[in-house]
A and B are shown apart, each in its own frame.
Chain A
């Protein structure tokens, strides 16, 4: 950098005219927004080249939490892969689980009864609410406002309690089975869900929105920051709330409805500019839409079985295992992993919290997949981050990163 009282010229003509030295080229500093950083949602590294305060370019490194999911999946029978899918987007693990189950059901050509589909929809929408709650509150934390996070985590605890009623775990849920759900919605679960979507969540979320929507500091930091045009979004493979903030209403739930989504009425919120503020608003609007869907589902929950009659893949009830020979044999075969899947190749996509989460499964007739590939939305749209932060400052880069909702588990898989 220059010394205190020395003038430097920026161009050759200026240097000759004023008789001062020419500024050195490339007086850039390097800043490592490193793997361990309080503001990142996980671990990825950005080595920023900066001209003073402005970012000129960035060199992104990911893979700090690469856990080789696809290779592990070639070794596990189909129902054991559910636990792997939990840990991809761990903020909304039921969506990953249900997406995987639906992929296997597509391969095996099993139809799941209506009640199970509605329960799946309820769980997936609750997971989407949980994911968006975390994203929006962490956006608040990254711009300096901590108290919104505390309010919203309380609601997330209530969603965790509902998960516990359904499957026993809080975060990495392993919910549902191939062919339906593992247990029905208990009366406590129904009561808790109704309490959540009718009483507590709308109030708390309205308060949370009031904190940020017209907050001068938040708006100054997020409006116009990290704007994405529609062409750029499509070219970079954006899906999910980030794409909808740019103005394109692509939603896998509407494009290729799965699990009875066509029975529900909901809108797809869309933004204008694709900047950080729009992404935040789109996520909040999606929380309200999800509340609407859960209300419709829980009011119209059909009667019937909660699992398909698929003996080869769904564990028989325990009382018939103890009495019935066929049930015992099926139980043994399923648990020991002796059942072979048919040969086939399927691709199924669900609308995850961050976009189109796809499962590409190739089965060669064995008990484990031949090849399983996860189309992870975070991995694909994070490429655009380097473009989005160019020209901004570090304090812009941080809200952009948290508004894109990059979750490291999904990034690296």
Chain B
């Protein structure tokens, strides 16, 4: 499960601690965190997403290739966190579909690892035809994400 660490703020520092040797995310299959959307499986959105940044998150999500999963790490990414203000997006599930939410402010590295393991469970149990199914297409439609030519 190669992650794309989309680290914005404090949760990003906890991710750096998870990448360090004490908690070591590479034991869980995430040896190669890549910053290229085309080559990663999981989009880990860590930190507050402001409304100015939301189009960028959506763009990065669109550039990922199927199958792709999204983990919203931290309270800010899940629901806006403590920042209920005019400039903060109240959760990234306003713009992209999310698979796993990891609550916490910031979540401990063990929680981030648990989130990654949940994605692995989802991936194990997912049917091979899920990305073509009607339900998935309806989900993407509800986010205004067109299928082919997603630029």
Answer whether A and B are interacting partners: yes
Point out residues on A near B: beta carbons under 8 Å: 34-38, 42-43, 63-68, 71-72, 83-84, 86-87, 90-91, 134, 149-150, 153-154, 156-157, 160, 170-172, 408-409, 412
Within B1-19, the residues touching A (CB, 8 Å) are: 6, 8-10, 12-14, 16-17, 19
Known: A37-B35, A65-B53, A68-B86. A153 touches B16 (CB 8 A): yes
Q: Which of B44-52, B91-99, B115-123, B130-138 forms contacts with chain A? A: B44-52
Closest chain A residue to B60 by CB distance?
A36
Known: A37-B35, A157-B22. A67 touches B53 (CB 8 A): no
Contact A170–B14 (Cβ < 8 Å)? yes
A378 to chain B, nearest CB (A): 13
Contact A171–B88 (Cβ < 8 Å)? no
* Distance A153 CA – B109 CA, assembled complex (angstroms): 13
1/0 contact trace for B48-62 toward A, CB 8 Å? 101011001000100
Point out residues on B near A: beta carbons under 8 Å: 6, 8-10, 12-14, 16-17, 19-22, 35, 47-48, 50, 52-53, 56, 60, 82-83, 85-88, 105-106, 108
Known: A42-B8, A65-B47, A172-B106. A153 touches B13 (CB 8 A): no
* Distance A157 CA – B14 CA, assembled complex (angstroms): 10
Contact B20–A409 (Cβ < 8 Å)? no
Contact B6–A36 (Cβ < 8 Å)? yes
Contact of A43 among B8, B83, B85, B86 (CB under 8 A): B8
Could you pull out 22 A-B pairs where Cβ atoms are within 8 angstroms?
A35-B56, A36-B6, A36-B56, A42-B12, A43-B8, A64-B50, A64-B56, A65-B50, A67-B83, A71-B86, A72-B85, A86-B10, A90-B9, A153-B17, A154-B22, A157-B17, A157-B22, A170-B17, A172-B105, A408-B9, A409-B9, A412-B50
Across-interface contacts of A154 in B (CB, < 8 A): 20-22
* Distance A89 CA – B8 CA, assembled complex (angstroms): 13
Known: A36-B60, A42-B8, A43-B53. A66 touches B13 (CB 8 A): no
Contact B87–A66 (Cβ < 8 Å)? yes
